[in-house]
Amino acid sequence: MEKVIVGLLTVFMVLALGIGGCSFFGKKKELKPFTSEVVHPDWTKDIVMYEVNVRQYTNEGTFAAFAEHLPRLKSLGIDVLWFMPTFPIGVVNRKGELGSYYSVKDFMDVNPEFGTVDDLKDVIDKTHELGMYVLLDWVPNHTSWDNQLTIDHPDWYAKDSNGKFTPPIGTDWTDVIQLDWSQKGLQDYMIDAMKFWVNLGVDGFRVDHPHNTPKEFWERAKAELSAIKPVLMLAEHEGPGFFMEKGFDMNYAWELHHMMNSVAQGKDSANAIMKYFKREQAVYPQKVYRLMFLTNHDENSWAGTIDSLMGDAQKVFANLIFTAPGVPLIYSGQETCLDKKLKFFVRDTIEWDACDLTPFYTSLIKLKKNNKALWNGESGGQMVTIKTDNKNKVLAFYREKDENRVVVFLNLTKKSVSFKPVLKGIEGEYTDYYAGEKVSLPLSVKYTLDPWGYRVYVK
């Protein structure tokens, strides 16, 4: 979803409104603990996700051209491909030359610039053949002005004081109009449209801006779609837990994303991040998945690149999102140092030869998959804090599941740091993951990490 710019609102206010993601970062509102009855598909226990921006992925900008990258993504270790919306884009009040992916003209067709439904089906089939899965980006909050539903079912839309269609209130989303989710017919239609894609082979949905939709609808959707096949449901949402009780497998860790940027810029500390995870454990049941990311299409196009927001801290924070509880996400081009803000409404092709972080991310994915302690939800281990004498600079923790334990030390500052961790109860022989050497913990000398340095020990 394109970001909203309203006067001089800060990014925190924008996020609090749920625009670009409903984050409570910067707000004092406390989330209440909740329970979850969601049953995750079996194949999600150790997944790593990848967001596909079809328009910008290749010079052709088509499904067929993207399909050439599937073997590369498989070798990287990716399990789930989340495609930004693939629907036809509205023409009326279109933004820019090509419009926003999120201005949906038809929920049961594809953008002809990308190809045909058969072309998308071919990508889905090839993805499945490689042992990977596909999520489509679903846009339930609004449609384009020229969606056929405006003619066939005008009663499914919210109206302004003059009885006219209206963009979502408080936004500059002038290319779309708000749906009225109190309409039972709209809910039935959305279920049928989602079933169309699941029957075509889709394995679930990333749901854009679900904030104005009823949680009961998603509970129904999860149940009815899962009756066809096990599906993964991801909500672009971070807030009250009611969406996660029965309707969604996973939601966004927006607050952590912004907190990592803040630490990278010297505005916050390692201790703040550890407090964040303690709050997470108090609110979210272990079985609930949280989407962890350094960037995504919203952040890249509107806030900035990883380089501009994190600088040299990218690798240490990548280690965090791959070792802490949660499902890691890699955005298109991130694995090869995407160093530009991709334009949103026009063609702006990724430069794949800019540089290469592929070995680094391949190694991180292997670390997650080869260690049960790092798996998702209840398949993995809880995060346990390791006390140090430098808690404002060093984030230290371990996770353990069955006979597997992973110990993590992260220097979240731009200066080298020495520290002494308290390792009582987890002493023993480990392998230094990156050095490939056997070590005995605790070390006989004080621990030292380079600026933005990291150590991962595996037992």
10 pLDDT band, cuts 50/70/90, is: very low
pLDDT at 23 (0 to 100): 36
User: Residue 374: what residue type?
Assistant: L
pLDDT in tens, 100-117: 999 999 999 999 999 999
What is residue 177's predicted lDDT score, i.e. its pLDDT? 98
| Residues 181-210: tens digit of each pLDDT | 999 999 999 999 999 999 999 999 999 999
Q: What is the pLDDT of residue 41?
A: 98
Give all domains of the chain, ordered by start, each with its CATH number.
11-381 (3.20.20.80), 385-458 (2.60.40.1180)
Q: Is the pLDDT of residue 274 over 80?
A: yes
246 vs 3 pLDDT, higher one: 246
Locus of tokens 């500059």: 172
- Kindly report which listed range (405-409, 436-440, 445-449) carries the lowest average pLDDT score: 445-449
Which residues on neighbouring strands pair with residue 392, listed in sequence order? none
- 3-state secondary structure labels for all residues of 19-31: CCCCCCCCCCCCC
pLDDT score at 2: 40
pLDDT for residue 353: 77
pLDDT over 70, % of the chain: 93
pTM: 0.93
Model pLDDT, residue 24 = 33
Query: pLDDT tens for residues 275-291?
Result: 999 999 999 999 999 99
Structure-block tokens of residue 384: 């346990």
- Mind listing the pLDDT tens digit for each residue in 313-356? 999 999 999 999 999 999 999 999 998 999 999 999 999 976 87
Angstrom distance (rounded) from CA 327 to CA 293: 9
Binned at pLDDT 50, 70 and 90, residue 30 comes out as low
Mean pLDDT on 223-245? 95
pLDDT band at 226 (very low <50, low <70, confident <90, very high): very high
Dist. CA 218–CA 212, nearest whole Å:
12
Please provide the average confidence, as pLDDT, over all residues in the chain: 92
374 close to 368: Cβ distance less than 8 angstroms:
yes
Q: What is the mean pLDDT of residues 203-226?
A: 97
Please tell me the predicted confidence (pLDDT) of residue 446: 87
What pLDDT does 412 receive?
98
124 touches 200 (CB < 8 A): yes
Q: What is the mean pLDDT of residues 26-48?
A: 85
Residue 95 pLDDT > 70: yes
pLDDT tens track for 156-179:
999 999 999 999 999 999 999 999
pLDDT band for position 32 (cuts 50, 70, 90):
confident
Res. 27: pLDDT tops 60? no
